[in-house]
Each structure stands twice: as structure tokens, then as C-alpha cells.
Amino acid sequence: MGWMQRRRLNRSTSDKRLAGVCGGLAEYFDVDPLLVRIGFVVAALAGPGLIAYVVLWIAMPKAPTGADAGPAAPASSTARAVAIAEDRYARGEITAEDLARIRGDLTGGAG
């Protein structure tokens, strides 16, 4: 399946302040977690935000970690780009040198 893996809505275990709800929503929709947090604060001040957060806290499963994680989609755009390059290398579309150059370019020379 490569880089086109199915994303799942989970509470974040790495980007969380309280329960990981905003971090998980931000990962799923590929937006800045700060924007999601600000949205929840505004919604809480307007009324239903706190209730929505608690409902999502209960309803959203915690993101799997370690051996339970399985083949998860990369979190950052750099990791996704490297995964695409690795997939192209596996299909024989680019050489090992091209893959190393792409990794170096994307990770700032640490490839």
C-alpha cells in the first residue's frame, strides 16, 4: 500500500496537553495543533466546546504505540516524502544514490 495508507482518527500520544484529542485531530486533518486547541477554547467559551472535547476524549481511541502500532502513516510531511521516495526505490524507479540524495535534502543532510 506504501504511502497511501488509511489514516485513523486517534488521540495523540506524542502531541498532547490533556488527553491528546486536539493533537489527534490535528494529525488526522494535517493542520497545526495550536489551531485546533484555539478552536476548542473558542468553542468552550461559546458553549459546546467543553462537552465536545469530553465526548471526543471518551469516543476517540488512544493511538497505538510500539509493537501495537503496526504500519502507521508517517506523521510529518518530510517523513511522508521520504516514504514516497523509498517506495519509488523499491519499485525500481530511482537509484540508491537518488534515494540517499532525497533523504539528505529532506532531512537537512542527515541521511
Reported as a single tens digit per residue, the pLDDT across 90-104 is: 888 889 998 888 888
Residue 88 pLDDT > 80: yes
Mean of pLDDT values over 74-98: 81
What pLDDT is attached to residue 42?
92
Count the alpha carbons within 13 Å of 108 in the hemisphere toward its beta carbon. 0
CA distances from 96 to 11, 23, 78, 86, 90 (A): 36, 35, 18, 9, 10
What pLDDT is attached to residue 38?
92
- Burial class of residue 11, CB neighbours in 10 A (0-12, 13-18, 19+): buried
Q: Which of 2, 6, 10 lies closest to 88 in space, CA to CA?
A: 2
